[in-house]
A and B are shown apart, each in its own frame.
Chain A
């Protein structure tokens, strides 16, 4: 049976009697019908065709005409609903997406998610809403955002005021604001490295939970390195504490980025612990880890770190001390680095990861997070 196009748009006149197929919304198990763009199709159905409703406890569309409030009139979204109920108002942003996602209701493709993220970031930047909030593209959560409530911030201000030291408060707020701004900008402009890391994060929610736990256990690290670590910092008692960590611990600062992606932790510490083996100073190597384009922002290099684990097989090692021709030197440095846990052994990798590493190209979405084995490196 063909799927009824009118039903998808929410305006099938035949309802149950229609000869075409009306796909039922069973897949919406965890689909709370909130902001998903495809909701537009089903939402329309409810309000346009009350005859299709079995429940009967919905008010008929004619009663909406009394609501002349402008806020709702533009909730037309993907359909000409005069009633403009508020299940649509979530649609406005996605009205462009709603039309093409009708056929793809059960799974949001990663590119849709990325577009959603970009749009949301743009709105977040321009709307003046509270910046210190976590963010998620339902159902996955994105890292890099600090979650602080206004009350917590206010309490910090009041305690600072009482102790006479407001400067620490101002500095911390400035830091949080800068971190937020850079993260939002990074997600909005969505370079290819950010895109890859975001997609892998959304596809692999376990990496998110590990980030969170990492943050709570690694609470000794500064704010900007890990969003969740700063949240535990707040819980533990104040911005002043975080402040001193950032100032006091410069060397750990860079290495913290790589601790965000636990699989790459060996990578990070290996890189910085072995300068003689061809890896240059931390700052320079952090910069050269970026996959594409300049990564001026530390956060994006952190994001790039996970993808650059795979990038390792494409590019010569950072520091450039061993060029492509210097196979021997490279082999040497890599074996030395392997001793420090920079590369994975074959036995550490799963079959799929091994397949990825041996393949000519990585498949998007399956780029391994573990570092490659040293002998598979193609230089």
Chain B
């Protein structure tokens, strides 16, 4: 909160009013800063689905809270509501009808937050902190999928205290993504498992990881017919792998690219390599956004294999990002991600900017 006071008049709604002479590294892109951000690092962001009118942004943080803002068309943000867990919140997601929000926390529980009544109930319990939570809407069932550091993936009907199904994983779950009928989970020790969700969730394939280091984030992309066809996997080593599930030619179609590294042209001095903290795909154009520990975000076109845009460097790492349902708004959270292993001033901020359309961004 004190971040607003410390800033030289940058509050919400200020878009380039104060000229470009002062390089403000807190919000160098002059995007709209969200009011009342959480007091600690933001771990996850999620925009409301298209079934709901308006844009609502949910953010979970290490201050044990989950906050909801309404993002209006003029860019202004209005804080709406807040709920608490007893441990840091690691992941949030919306139900498909936009009436409920699911939150997963280090206190080993997951809660369902009914926005209309502003009540929460616990819907899941694990033996370890829950790292990922996703809502699955299948024709014959709906459930919540939770991935945890206790090496299990559990599926919950929100009405019952026992899981519908529990799948064992080889290692702790680090990140996951769901686009029906496909789910991808990346675990510790470079584990990568794809699940198919038709009829009931089952393991589809275990994939040998294309990356050499720890997995950090994963996001599924769709093909032209809006069917999930592959995923992007980010690691701590400033690299993202694009992997298709059934490509015509795996050696050519699958590739990796380096990102979030310093020292682009100068190969003489050692490069600084930053973790890719989150990946998000634009719902309409299929371009992907990556955010990293270096405090930058970048947009890429994976089919043309080009980088579209990189932002200026923010003063803190960017820990989460999210596109809204029609792709007009891109929200990113600037807060410490523990990449330097020690505690730092962790107050975070959430910034939402106009999502650049590909035509405008190509240089």
Interface residues of A (CB under 8 A from B): 25, 28-35, 39, 42, 46, 55, 57, 59, 63-64, 66-74, 85-87, 89-90, 92, 120, 123, 126-139, 141, 147, 149-155, 157-158, 173, 177, 212, 228, 231, 234-235, 237
Per-residue A-contact encoding for B213-226, CB less than 8 Å = 1, 0 else: 11010000000000
Name the A residues within 8 Å of B162 (CB-CB).
none
A154 to chain B: which residues have CB within 8 Å?
62, 88, 338
* With contact pairs A134-B214, A151-B131 given, residues A71 and B343 touching in the complex (Cβ less than 8 Å): no
A235 contacts B208, CB within 8 Å?
no
**B341 with A153: CB separation less than 8 A:** yes
Contacts of A73 in B (CB 8 A): 265
Q: Is the CB of A127 within 8 A of B273?
A: yes
Which 4 A-B residue pairs are closest in the complex by CB-CB distance? A86-B257, A133-B214, A126-B270, A28-B251
Query: Could you mark each residue 238-263 of chain B with 1 if its beta carbon is under 8 Å from any beta carbon of chain A, else 0?
Result: 11010100001111111111110100
A141 proximity list for chain B (CB < 8 A): 189-190
Residues of chain A with a CB closer than 8 A to B241's CB? 32, 34
Chain A residue contacts of B261, Cβ below 8 A:
71, 127
Which of B129, B214, B265, B306 is A155 in contact with, Cβ under 8 Å? B129
- Tell whether, in the assembled complex, residue A74 and residue B304 are in contact, meaning their CB atoms are under 8 Å apart: no
Contact with A along B263-287 (1 / 0, CB 8 A): 0110100111111000000000000
Inter-chain contacts of B271 with A (CB < 8 A): 123, 126-127
- Which of under 10, 10 to 19, 20 to 34, or 35 or more describes the interface residues of B? 35 or more
- B90 within 8 Å of A (CB atoms): yes
Give the interface SS of chain A, mostly helix, strand, loop or mixed. helix
Pick from A57, A68, A130: contact of B214, CB below 8 A. Answer: A130
7 contacts between A and B (CB under 8 A): A25-B251, A66-B306, A127-B273, A128-B274, A132-B214, A141-B190, A228-B189
The CA-CA distance from A173 to B123 in the complex, in Å, is 34
Contacts of A139 in B (CB 8 A): 208
B307 at the A interface (CB under 8 A): yes
Residue from A64, A90, A120 within 8 A of B258 (CB atoms): A90
Whether the pair A147, B212 counts as a contact (CB closer than 8 A) is no
Neighbouring A residues of B237 by C-beta, 8 Å: 129-130, 133
Output the residue of A29, A90, A129 with the most chain B CB within 10 A: A129
Name the A residues within 8 Å of B129 (CB-CB): 151, 155
Complex formed: what's the CA distance from A86 to B288 in Å?
14
- Asked if A71 and B264 sit within 8 Å, CB to CB, the answer is yes
| A33 x B252 contact (CB < 8 A) | yes
With A68-B363, A126-B270, A139-B208 as known contacts, state yes or no: A87 contacts B305, CB within 8 Å. Answer: yes
Closest CB-CB distance, A327 to chain B, in whole Å?
47
| Contact, CB under 8 Å: B264 / A134 | no
Is B88 touching A86 in the complex (CB atoms < 8 A)?
no
* A39 partner residues in chain B, CB cutoff 8 A: 251
What 17 new A-B contacts, CB under 8 Å, besides A57-B303, A59-B303? A31-B251, A33-B250, A34-B241, A34-B255, A46-B252, A64-B304, A67-B306, A71-B259, A72-B307, A86-B307, A123-B270, A127-B270, A138-B208, A147-B189, A157-B338, A228-B189, A235-B149
Which residues does chain B contribute within 8 Å of A67, judged by CB atoms? 306-307, 362-363
Query: By the criterion CB–CB under 8 Å, are B339 and A150 in contact?
Result: yes
**Is A55 a contact of B272 with CB atoms below 8 Å?**
no
Q: Which residue of A lies closest to B216 (CB)?
A: A149
B239 contacts across to A, CB distance below 8 A:
90
- Determine if B210 and A32 form an interchain contact, defined as CB atoms under 8 angstroms apart: yes
**A138 CB to nearest chain B CB (Å):** 7
Spell out B's residues near A (CB within 8 Å). 43, 62, 87-88, 90, 106, 128-129, 131, 149-151, 171-172, 174, 188-190, 208-214, 216, 235-239, 241, 243, 248-259, 261, 264-265, 267, 270-275, 303-307, 310, 337-339, 341, 343, 362-363
Nearest CB in chain A: distance from B192 CB, A: 11
Distance in Å: Cβ of B114 to nearest Cβ of chain A: 27
Q: How far is the CA of A59 from the CA of B302 in the complex (A)?
A: 11
Q: Which residues of A contact B149 (CB under 8 A)?
A: 152, 235
Interface residue SS majority, chain B: loop
Among candidates A32, A70, A85, A234, residue contacting B264 with C-beta atoms closer than 8 Å: A70
Q: Is the beta-carbon distance between A129 and B274 smaller than 8 angstroms?
A: yes
Q: Is the CB of A155 within 8 A of B106?
A: yes
- A168 to B47, alpha carbons, bound, how many Å? 39
A85's partner among B213, B254, B265, B306 (CB-CB below 8 A) is: B306
A123 to B237, CA, bound (A): 10
Contacts of A57 in B (CB 8 A): 303
Closest Cβ–Cβ distance, residue B210 to chain A (whole Å): 4
**Most chain-A CB neighbours within 10 Å: which of B248, B251, B343?**
B251
CA distance A63 to B363 in the complex (A): 12
CA separation between A34 and B211, bound complex, in Å? 8
Report B232 CB to chain A, min CB distance, Å. 12
Point out which of A120, A155, A228, A231 has the most chain B C-beta atoms below 10 A from its C-beta: A155
Please name all residues of chain A whose beta carbon is closer than 8 Å to the beta carbon of B273 when the two chains form the complex: 123, 127-129
- The chain B residue sitting closest to A31, CB to CB, is B251
A147 contact from B188, B256, B343, Cβ within 8 A: B188
Which B residues are CB-close (under 8 A) to A126?
A: 270-271
From known contacts A64-B306, A87-B305, infer whether A28 and B250 are also in contact, taking CB-CB under 8 Å. Answer: yes
- Closest CB in chain B relative to A94 CB, distance in Å: 12
